[in-house]
Amino acid sequence: MFADHVAGLASGGTIAIGAVGILVALRNQHRQLNAQMYVEFSGRFQQLLRSFPTEAWLANADPSHPMPAPSREVTEYTLYAFQFASDIYYLHASFGESGRHCRRILSTARISWSI
């Protein structure tokens, strides 16, 4: 009788330890996914910064600097910047913890919103 009781407790303990192990693995996977998303979006942001026309950045930073003439290149990169900000916004709105990473990326770009 005592051996059956000990075996039952050992089985329950094994199941509990296994459940805790699964929860830890899921948490680690979630954190790794967040890190991968941060790296991916940071890379996209750096690509946007490198490819955007210099004249447009100068006009944005200094109001006395004239705006560049309208061109297809400026239009395409402006639309890409809006799409990037939209992707970050929806990522932030969808994932709670990823919001920290989104705010870090957007603070670099000086883009903000309140949710």
What is the Cα–Cα distance from 66 to 106, expressed in whole angstroms? 25
How far is CA 57 from its chain centroid?
A: 24
User: Global pTM?
Assistant: 0.57
Question: Measuring CA to CA, which residue among 12, 10, 50, 37 is closest to residue 96?
Answer: 37
What is the DSSP annotation of 49-67?
A: HHHS-HHHHHHHH-TTSPP
What is the DSSP annotation of 89-103?
A: HHHHHH-TTTHHHHH
What is the Cα–Cα distance from 43 to 46, expressed in whole angstroms? 5
Angle at 83 (CA atoms; ends 82, 89), nearest 5 degrees: 90
1-52 tens-digit pLDDT: 677 777 777 777 888 888 899 999 999 998 888 788 878 888 888 888 888 8
73-84 tens-digit pLDDT: 888 888 888 888
